[in-house]
Amino acid sequence: MTQQTEKLSRWVCLECHYIYDPEKGDKTQDVPPGIPFEKLPDTWICPICKIRKIKKGVFKKLDE
């Protein structure tokens, strides 16, 4: 039995260049490590520039 671990993608805010790293989470909003960007609540905002996750085109998935 082979167990595969999928690497969680990092996302960058195109306004301020903050990088959300799911392996670290976001302590400023009590997001524990291991939460993918897609699973962040709609109320989550960029901790630097305060733009909401749901604003389209502001966050971009980083190519690994």
Please name the CATH architecture into which domain 1-25+35-64 falls: Single Sheet (2.20)
User: What is the percent of the chain with per-residue pLDDT over 70, rounded to a whole number?
Assistant: 89
Cα 45 to Cα 52: distance, rounded to the nearest angstrom: 4
pTM, two decimal places: 0.84
Ordered by start, the domain boundaries in the chain are 1-25+35-64
Q: For residue range 28-41, list pLDDT tens digits in order.
A: 999 999 999 999 99
Contact 54, 43 (CB under 8 A): no
